[in-house]
Structure 1
Amino acid sequence: MSNLHNELTKILNGKQLTPHFQPIVSLSQKKIMGYEALIRGPSNSPLHSPFNLFDTAERFNLSTKLEYICRELTIKRYAELTIKEKLFINVSPSVLLQPDFKKGETLKLLDQFGVDPRSVVIEVTEHQPIDDFQLMLEAVTHYRKMGFEIAIDDLGAGYSGLRLWSELQPEYVKIDMHFIQGIHNDPIKLNFVRSIQKIARSLNCNVIAEGIETEDEYKAVEQLGITHAQGYYFSRPTAIPLEKVDKSLFIVSSQPTQFNAIKAIHIAKFITPVSSETPISEVMNLFHSDGDLIILPLVDNNEASGIIFRDHFLFKLFSNRYGIELYGKKPIKSFIEKMPLSFDQNTPIELVSKQLTSTMRNDQAFIITNDDEYIGIGTILNLLEEITRQQIHNAKHANPLTLLPGSVPINEQVNRLLAANIPFSFGYFDLDHFKPFNDVYSYSAGDDIIKAVADILTHYIPAESGVVGHIGGDDFIVIFLGNDWLKCCENILNAFEKAVPNYYKDEDTKTGGIYTENRAGEKCFFPMISLSVGLVDPDSTSQCQSHVDIADLASEAKKQAKKIEGNSFFIHHRIATKNQKNLYHFTNQAVVKLHAVN
């Protein structure tokens, strides 16, 4: 123990610590927006790893001293590297509440090394319980007034993460990597992160997903609308920080949201840009000479660096009586407070809308690019007009009972997926014994059953996982876009089986069904309503030419499912031999493989 104490003392006295920087990436802008500073001890020391370093410091009551030295070395190195993006500094609550911190020691360091406080984010790392939330809130408010932003680290792993979030109302909240790793295969983690994203959106807070290591994890996070990400997938922490993320890592979600195939290029308008070095006086002359010029993009070397809005520009310029004299010769880039949002020209406008909403910014316009080069401006107004036009088109074909898309938009979606070679599965859901139930319990009760099916389908198939359609009567269609389509179908059948008794009288539930006339007018017993599902797997859909082919396969599989008593499904699976198919069905939690030859 004394050897570790001596080693730590030597490291602290000699400031033998090396800052490393890991990128934090904006998923909407597809670029690095900041770096989290992480500390490493000497490479030949048992305290090289941050865990050993900070654990040892805590044991010997040297945590505060260690954090101060880390902060000093980090800010110094950040300034030496002339990093323009934000700097995230880890600070424990106990240190945050220290009088020296509150008196402005960090501000002195920033001033010493020429770093703007507005570029620093204090990342509250909660490894111990917080005793006084009111004092914590006062401290955070004090730091905000100095220009700092606040982030909460490891949400979900600390002692009081949700309360800390509600009390501090940070600009950023980082979801602990436990909930991100394997998220694409874990519906519990997926729902947890989805809930966090919804809360963050309502609180005007940016979510950062930590610990992304794989392409599948990235896709899952991106599809949820998470705005920021961090992890080995993009870059490990390095002493010399990565300057740009490989653009190929930003895989645009292949999922066409809802039924919209319109791309961002459709709403792009080319506006002649000016350089960010253009004097403010020249920009004023441009606005003065052209009364229709509302937006002015700033572009250097074909890359957009900002957007100037006429009203905001003139207000800022003339709010001071000496505005022209003060600012006239300065470059227009000095008026830029934040990087504009940008989208590739091939981004579906539904995804553009989703990401704009997720960022919770009030931008009235955004950049549209081709290979990162400026090609035009998109405005919120034009985006809303196009989305509204699409929604009116879809509403014409929506089912009036469930308001789900009808056959026309479903067929359009299938054809687009086929044309884009995007893998998907297809399900045809049909109610068994629905007519007898409708006859006995009335059409109103039948409508309730149909709405129950719609609710269950949309619950288990959120927008990022697929598309649910209601093509008429008691027939539903599902386009599965995820890999878990089979498990999802099992969950739907189980949920429906549990829900059905709620729509029957107790005596009918006990007998397992109802007595009523069949189509021939004969008194018969009909079991309780169940679901039969015809499924077409991704290999089979990929071999189809249009929605007509897929509908034929799904209809045949549904007929086979209807031959099985109770909630069941058949999977049509086309194998290499063209004249064969494998059929599976699910009943009572069992999957049975059948063979058939056409």
Structure 2
Amino acid sequence: MSILHNELTKILDGKQLTPHFQPIVSLSQKKIMGYEALIRGPSDSPLHSPFNLFDTAERFDCSIKLEYICRELTIKRYAALNIKEKLFINVSPSVLLQPDFKKGETLKFLDQFGVDPRFVVIELTEHQPTDDFQLMREAVTHYRKMGFEIAIDDLGAGYSGLRLWSELQPEYVKIDMHFIQGINNDPVKLNFVRSIQNIASSLNCNVIAEGIETEEEFKAVEQLGITHAQGYYFARPTAIPLEKVDESLFVVSTQPSQLNATKASHIAQYIRPVSAETAISEVMSLFHNESDLTILPLVDDNVAAGIIFRDHFLFKLFSSRYGIELYGKKPIKTFIEKTPLSFDQNTPIESVSKQLTDSMRNDQAFIISSDGKYIGVGTILKLLEEITRQQIRNARHANPLTLLPGSVPINEQIDQLLAANIPFSFGYFDLDHFKPFNDVYGYSAGDNIIKAVADTLTRYIPAESGMVGHIGGDDFIVIFMGHDWLTRCENILESFENTVPAYYTDADVRAGGIHAENRAGESCFFPLISLSVGLVDSMSTAQCQSHVDIADLASEAKKQAKKIDGNSYFINHRIAPKTPENPESFAHNPVVKLHVVG
């Protein structure tokens, strides 16, 4: 018998295992909704780490025994700590499928320690291929009948995660940490997780993003509408679990377009809720006595559990053969078909609309909350009315050619960012040699070039990365959010240089430009159109008092960029603000010229 086998036997026989608990956080309610139980071996043992422990158990055919002991100790500790949130217990599908698997063992432990099965989530953790899906369905049905919920762990990393999801239809799916780590800088990961969230919403399944470690990852996940999260960013696994997450961790991911946007609170209507335990007969009487009541939120302890719609409720009640006689004494929660969508009161209505659309659900109403507590109900009708009103307002200040925001909304956004002390960088984009191109090729071709600039800018500056404005003619403004602003600018210039030749004849492209009259009426040669960009970094914008100061800096930088041939940019570094005591022009560091694409 090997040393590791002896060590494993000693640990199992002595039940020398310690459960640790890592919080799973509800992002909508901003609080802990459950804990995943993670087992550790003795601290002085080579089997201390879960990987070594379970790998060794599998090697010596002790997986079932290990899992039963883990469950027993976990449930015992969970009960002893009097935890009120859900308990996520890891279970290997391969163990469920083994012939000597004992059904009812988990329930026996729950009965022994006084734990309600409805508070337990069986988390299927796949480390080996799963082939017998029929047996898996039977095992999951067995657990569900006892009151358990089901979760699939590490979606995207296993052998058959999507097949398991389809076959078992779990209440939760946990996205593997590989797709979460660095998601803020990886469009492939971002699109993968967005797709998973969209599928989950249509299946009424909750997504848990595992492995969040940084604020940037949290912001990216939160923007996608992911409902739950887990990772070191919130807390590490500990033997004594964290009871409350630091509220400062729920940072608001501010986009420029959201600063003065209409918030969800604007469309919230307070409807007096009832408890989910209210008898159906009482709800029936409520609808009968209040003819204008069409929506009834179900709320307990300030948290919404569901929404009852009058028409659907009455149809379901009276379409049954026995109707009120059959259902009357049952709690109204039995009519809840899916958890209602919920939005914080400070969520911009554009984000509400996007998440409702992405969810692919036809909900007519949704919950609006403050720090996870119910404050009212929003309806699709009110949302559409407000969005329409906002679009009309925005259209008044939009450029008619590109439909991008004009100078008024751009200046408002800049001043809002400065007032909120939110860091941002700034870019002033201007076309070179545009007038001669317009003279030779015509106004229609000129408009197409303008639209090409707008398309390039919006492609590289999505809403979550900044804001693009068209302030007139061939002048564009970009507000950059994030640390990658310079890389985005370089990508824009490179992309535009590759785009421009398509707007010239082959002969002009080969010649490298066109002949046209200058402003003095003299015939001159003008190179192909390019972009000159005046940039102001975040350290410099932070010292400015208003959009006027920033415009001065950017204009000065743009003039310098225009002295450089081809697509280029110039960064203006400001080191001293203009003050009443110092009314002179701004002082600057030596400015570095950067010719990116020539």
CA deviations over 1:31-75 (Å, ceiling 9, x no partner): 334432322223443322212211212332333443344345545
Q: TM-score, normalised by structure 2?
A: 0.83
Secondary structure at the counterpart of residue 533 of structure 1: strand
Which amino acid in 2 is paired with 1:6?
A: N
More deviation, 489-498/90-99: 90-99
2:193 aligned with 1:200, yes or no?
no
1:494-520 residue CA offsets vs partner (Å, 9 max, x unmatched): 222333344444544444333333333
Q: Is the 8 A contact 1:512 1:528 kept in 2?
A: yes
Q: Deviations over 1:423-477 (max 9, x none)?
A: 3222111121223334444544444433332232222212211112233333222
Instruction: Quote the offset at 1:532 in angstroms.
Output: 0.9
CA-to-partner distance for each residue in 1:75-102, whole Å, 9 max, x for gaps? 565567676655444344533543566x
Partner secondary structure for residue 463 of structure 2: coil
* Alpha-carbon offset, residue 257 of structure 1: 4.0
Give the 3 Å change call, closer, same or farther, for CA 105–99 of structure 1 in structure 2. farther
Structure-2 residue corresponding to 1:253: 253
How far residue 396 of structure 1 moved from its aligned partner, in angstroms, is 4.0
Q: Which moved more, 1:525-534 or 1:62-71?
A: 62-71
Where does residue 385 of structure 1 map in the other structure? 385
3-state secondary structure, aligned to 1:575: strand
Distance 1:312 1:32, change over 3 A: farther
Instruction: Work out which of the residue numbers 573, 592, 596 in structure 2 matches 1:588.
Output: 596
Contact 1:28 1:355 in 2 (8 A): no
Retained in 2: the 8 A contact 1:273–1:296? yes
Residue by residue over 1:395-448, the C-alpha shift from the partner in whole angstroms, topping out at 9 and shown as x without a partner, is: 344344433333333233333333433332221111212233344445444444
Correspondence for 2:3:
3
Q: Alpha carbons of 1:442 and 1:86: their partners in 2 closer, same or farther (altered >3 Å)?
A: farther
* 1:146-157 alignment runs, 5 A limit: 146=142, 147=144, 151-157=151-157
Contact map agreement 2:75 2:110 (CA 8 A) in 1: no
- CA distance in 1 between counterparts of 2:255 and 2:123 reads 34
Question: Which moves more between the two structures, 481-490 or 111-120?
Answer: 111-120
Unaligned 5+ segments in structure 1 are 591-598
Pick closer, same or farther for the CA change 1:202–1:158 going to 2, 3 Å. Answer: closer
Looking at structure 2, the residues matched to 96 and 434 of structure 1 have their Cα atoms a distance apart, in angstroms, of 70
Measure the CA separation in 2 of the matches of 1:156 and 1:566.
45
Shift of 1:312: 4.3
Aligned residue number for residue 497 of structure 2: 497
Instruction: Quickly say closer, same or farther: Cα 1:193–1:143, change in 2 above 3 A.
Output: farther
Q: Figure out how many residues of one structure are paired with residues of the other and give that number.
A: 582
Matches within 5 A, 1:41-60: 41-60=41-60
Q: Which residue of the partner structure matches residue 534 of structure 2?
A: 534
Larger deviation: 227-236 or 112-121?
A: 112-121
CA 257–362 in structure 1, closer or farther in 2 if over 3 Å, else same = farther
Within a 5 Å distance, the mapping from 1:101-116 to structure 2 comes to none
In 2: Cα distance, 1:161 partner to 1:275 partner: 37
**Does the aligned pair in 1 maintain the 2:543–2:577 contact within 8 Å?**
no
Q: Match for residue 576 of structure 2?
A: 576
Q: Distance in 2 between matches of 1:452 and 1:49?
A: 56
**Equivalent residue letter for 2:236:** R
Task: Verify the 8 A CA contact 2:130 2:160 in the aligned structure 1.
Answer: no
1-structure distance, mates of 2:251, 2:97: 42
In the alignment, is the contact (CA less than 8 A) between 1:224 and 1:464 conserved in 2?
A: no
Paired position in structure 2 for 1:437: 437
Q: Calculate the TM-score normalised by the size of structure 1.
A: 0.83
Aligned partners of 2:109 and 2:388: how far apart in 1? Answer: 48
Deviates more, 1:580-589 or 1:472-481: 580-589
Q: Name the structure 2 match of 1:402.
A: 402
Q: Cα 1:6–1:363, aligned 2, differ >3 Å: closer, same or farther?
A: farther
Alpha-carbon separation, structure 2, partners of 1:359 and 1:33: 22
Distance 2:26 2:141 in 1: 25
Q: Which moved more, 1:159-168 or 1:528-537?
A: 159-168
Q: Distance in 1 between matches of 2:94 and 2:177?
A: 23
CA distance in 1, matches of 2:72, 2:357: 37
Describe the SS at the equivalent of 1:464: helix
| Partner residue in 2 for 1:555 | 555
Q: Report deviation, 1:163.
A: 7.3
Give the Å deviation of 1:359. 5.5
> What secondary structure does 1:262 align onto?
coil
Whichever residue aligns with residue 26 of structure 1, its letter is: S
1:35 aligns with 35
Q: Deviations over 1:563-587 (max 9, x none)?
A: 1111111223321364302434321
2:272 counterpart SS class? coil
Q: Secondary structure at the match of 2:576?
A: coil
Which secondary structure state, in structure 2, belongs to the residue aligned with residue 351 of structure 1? helix
Offset of 1:201 from its aligned partner?
A: 0.8
Matches within 5 A, 1:201-280: 201-202=198-199, 204=202, 206-257=206-257, 261-275=261-275, 278-280=278-280
Assess if the C-alpha contact under 8 Å between 2:181 and 2:217 holds in 1: yes
* Cα deviation, residue 550, structure 1: 3.0
1:479 alignment partner, SS class: strand
Does the CA contact (< 8 Å) of 2:93 and 2:136 recur in 1? no
Matched AA of 1:427: G
In 1, distance between residues paired with 2:4 and 2:471? 70
1:450 counterpart residue number: 450
Task: Give 2:176's aligned residue.
Answer: 176
Contact preservation (8 Å) 2:140, 2:168 = no
CA distance in 1 between counterparts of 2:48 and 2:390 reads 57
SS in 2 for 1:282: helix
- Against the structure 1 CA distance between its residues 57 and 452, is the aligned structure 2 distance closer, same or farther, given a 3 Å change threshold? farther
Letter in 1 for 2:290: D
SS at match of 2:94: helix
Does the 8 A contact of 2:273 with 2:299 survive in 1?
yes
8 Å contact kept, 2:180–2:189: no
Q: Which moved more, 1:463-472 or 1:505-514?
A: 505-514
Number of the residue aligned with 1:596: none
CA RMSD of aligned residues (A): 3.7
Preserved CA contact (<8 Å) 1:72 1:109: no
The 2-side partners of 1:316 and 1:42 are apart by 56
| Correspondence list, 1:473-492, <5 A | 473-492=473-492
C-alpha contact 1:200 1:207 (8 A) present in aligned 2: yes
| Matched position secondary structure for 1:233 | coil
User: In structure 2, what is the equivalent of residue 595 of structure 1?
Assistant: none
Q: Which residue number corresponds to residue 582 of structure 2?
A: none
Q: Give the conservation status (yes or no) of the 8 Å contact 1:280–1:329.
A: yes
Summarize the Cα distance change of 1:374–1:171 in structure 2 as closer, same or farther, 3 Å threshold.
closer
Confirm or deny: 8 A CA contact 2:29 2:372 kept in the other structure: no
- The residue type equivalent to 2:271 in the other structure is I
Tell me the distance in 1 between the aligned counterparts of 2:42 and 2:358. 41
Distance 1:490 1:512, change over 3 A: same
- CA displacement at 1:292 relative to structure 2: 0.8
Q: Name the SS of the counterpart of 1:53 in structure 2.
A: helix
Kindly provide the amino acid, as one letter, of the partner of residue 436 in structure 2.
Answer: P
Q: 1:369 to 1:227 in 2, by over 3 A?
A: closer
Q: Which 10-residue stretch deviates more, 75-84 or 539-548? A: 75-84
1:417 correspondence with 2:417: yes
Partner of 1:23: 23
Supply the distance in 2 between the matched residues of 1:360 and 1:243 (Cα, whole angstroms).
Answer: 34
Change over 3 Å in CA distance of 1:97–1:224 after alignment to 2 = same
3-state SS of 1:467 partner: strand
Name the CA distance, whole Å, in 1 between partners of 2:545 and 2:422: 13
Q: Measure, in 1, the Cα distance between the counterparts of 2:64 and 2:502.
A: 60
Aligned match of 1:284: 284
The one-letter code of the counterpart of 1:586 is: L
User: Is the Cα–Cα contact under 8 Å of residues 252 and 347 in structure 1 kept in the other structure?
Assistant: no
Quote how far apart the aligned CAs of 1:369 are: 3.7
Contact 1:226–1:358 under 8 Å retained in 2: no
Tell me which moved more, 320-329 or 460-469: 320-329
